[in-house]
Amino acid sequence: MSATSDGFQEALDATLPILQSMTKNLRVKPKATRTSLENLRISLPASFEKPTKTAEKTIKPSHPVTPVVSGKDDGRLAKLEILKKSILTCTRCPHLVTSRTQVVYGVGNPFAELLFVGEAPGEEEDLRGEPFIGKAGQLLTKIIGAMEYTRDDIFIANILKCRPDMPGGESGNRKPKPAEMSTCLPWLTQQIELIKPKVIVALGLTAVEGLLGEPCTMRDVRGKWLDYHGVPLMPTYHPAYLLRNQTLAEKRKVWEDMLLVLEKLGRAISTKQQGYFLEKA
Ligand code: SF4
């Protein structure tokens, strides 16, 4: 395939999930299929296919490309690629296969020392193929920044990799069921085995219960070190909880959990970082 048709293919791959979702959710259906788009490509003069700088900026791949690699490859990259292909075509949950736009594999550094785990993709994540990109995701990005990491340094994944289906195709999100999480969890476990993070942070009670496979309460587990297959596991609040409870006290609780994580990772903690979200006297 030529470079120009590569560009068209990327645009096509990015556009199709959105069209599929519009077909499912809107009253006015878009009239474009892969065949009709391909016919359009053939009918275009070559100059129309050439990606412009603007087009390069706006085209998002349906599955994020592998980001900055910061470790020595011990064979994990090839194994992760094979695993990724299996995950992206998984059909273990037929009810989610029919409702999803795409599988949300996860995003970040395959050599990450820190892994954040959420519960499941929401509507926006399902459309874009990337976890934690809505408002809660933006807050998570700020937390990651306050820890002096970027999203490219760490890895972010969900226990459930397909968006939980909504009754009657309603909009909004629902929590994943325990059976759904236990069906999908082996994928995440394989990702963890290959990425080998030094610390896992579970975001929210559902993620903690999904990993542990048993019910618990946030009061009992938040801020305490647990273990997931030999990897230290820190449960903390989901960023969506912080969006609903924007008090300094609740933000400080999450931040204290992150300070424990930084300490466990042997990262230097500045005085400024120590003081974030402390109540003013
Ligand atoms: S939720 Fe997980 S196990 Fe179920 S179909 Fe999606 S990827 Fe497969």
Give the domain CATH number at 157: 3.40.470.10
Residue 281 lies in a domain: no
Mean residue pLDDT of the chain comes to 83
Residue 100 confidence (pLDDT) above 50:
yes
| Neighbouring C-beta atoms of residue 115, cutoff 10 Å | 26
- The verdict on 217 and 243 lying in the same domain is yes
Q: Where is the domain boundary, 30, 58, 86?
A: 58
**Residue with more model confidence, 70 or 219:** 219
Reported in sequence order, the residue ranges of 36-195 that DSSP labels E, i.e. its strands, are 107-108, 114-118, 155-158
pLDDT at 18: 53
Q: Is 67 exposed, middle or buried (0-12, 13-18, 19+ CB in 10 A)?
A: middle
Pairing of strands 114-118, 199-203: parallel
- The verdict on 111 and 182 lying in the same domain is yes
Q: Which residues form the pocket of ligand 1, taking CB atoms under 6 Å from any ligand atom?
A: 87, 90-93, 96-97, 103, 160-162, 183-184, 187
pLDDT at 231: 98
Q: What atom of ligand 1 comes closest to residue 94's alpha carbon?
A: 5
Q: What is the pLDDT of residues 17-45, one digit of tens each?
A: 555 555 444 444 444 544 444 444 443 33
- The verdict on 111 and 148 lying in the same domain is yes
- The verdict on 85 and 17 lying in the same domain is no
CA 57 from chain center: how many Å? 21
pLDDT at 268: 96
* DSSP H or E stretch at residue 202: strand 199-203
Residue 154 lies in a domain: yes
Residue 279 lies in a domain: no
Cα–Cα dist 66/109, whole Å: 7
Residue span of the structural domain in which 36 resides: 3-58
pLDDT at 29: 45
Tell me if the pTM is above 0.85.
no
pLDDT at 172: 80
- The verdict on 45 and 134 lying in the same domain is no
* DSSP H or E stretch at residue 140: helix 135-146
Cβ–Cβ under 8 Å, residues 202 and 236: yes
| Neighbouring C-beta atoms of residue 234, cutoff 10 Å | 22
- If you take atom 2 of ligand 1, which residue's CA is the nearest one? 184
Residue 67 lies in a domain: no
Cβ–Cβ under 8 Å, residues 156 and 112: no
Q: What atom of ligand 1 comes closest to residue 90's alpha carbon?
A: 8
Residue 15 lies in a domain: yes
Average the pLDDT over 148-166 and give the result. Answer: 97
- If you take atom 4 of ligand 1, which residue's CA is the nearest one? 93
Of 40-54, 161-175, 203-217, least confident by mean pLDDT is: 40-54
Residue 164 confidence (pLDDT) above 90:
yes
- The verdict on 110 and 239 lying in the same domain is yes
Q: What atom of ligand 1 comes closest to residue 160's alpha carbon?
A: 1
DSSP codes of every residue in 255-268? HHHHHHHHHHTT--
* Rounded distance from Cα 92 to ligand 1 centre (Å): 5
Residue 192 identity (one-letter amino acid) = I
* Number of structural domains found in the chain: 2
Residue 63 lies in a domain: no
* Rounded distance from Cα 129 to ligand 1 centre (Å): 14
Residue 223 confidence (pLDDT) above 50:
yes
Of 58-62, 76-80, 190-194, 211-215, least confident by mean pLDDT is: 58-62
User: Residue 170: which pLDDT band, with cuts at 50, 70 and 90?
Assistant: confident
Residue 3 confidence (pLDDT) above 90:
no
Residue 46 confidence (pLDDT) above 50:
no
- The verdict on 104 and 14 lying in the same domain is no
- If you take atom 3 of ligand 1, which residue's CA is the nearest one? 184
- Identify the top-confidence range among 2-11, 54-63, 139-148, 162-171: 139-148
Average the pLDDT over 147-158 and give the result. Answer: 97
* Rounded distance from Cα 91 to ligand 1 centre (Å): 6
For 281, the token pair is 């006297």
* DSSP H or E stretch at residue 185: helix 178-195
- The verdict on 133 and 49 lying in the same domain is no
Residue 280 lies in a domain: no
pLDDT at 43: 38
3-state secondary structure of 199: strand
* Rounded distance from Cα 176 to ligand 1 centre (Å): 11
Q: Where is the domain boundary, 11, 32, 58?
A: 58
- The verdict on 221 and 261 lying in the same domain is yes
* Rounded distance from Cα 161 to ligand 1 centre (Å): 6
For 273, the token pair is 């970082």
Residue 70 lies in a domain: no
- The verdict on 80 and 26 lying in the same domain is no
pLDDT at 21: 52
- The verdict on 27 and 90 lying in the same domain is no
Q: Which of 89, 105, 184, 206 to mutate to test the pocket of ligand 1 (most atoms within 8 A of CB)?
A: 184
* Rounded distance from Cα 160 to ligand 1 centre (Å): 7
Within 13 A of 115's CA, how many CA atoms are on the CB side? Answer: 24
Cα–Cα dist 16/33, whole Å: 8
Q: Which of 99, 105, 160 to mutate to test the pocket of ligand 1 (most atoms within 8 A of CB)?
A: 160
Residue 64 confidence (pLDDT) above 50:
no
- The verdict on 118 and 230 lying in the same domain is yes
Q: What atom of ligand 1 comes closest to residue 96's alpha carbon?
A: 5
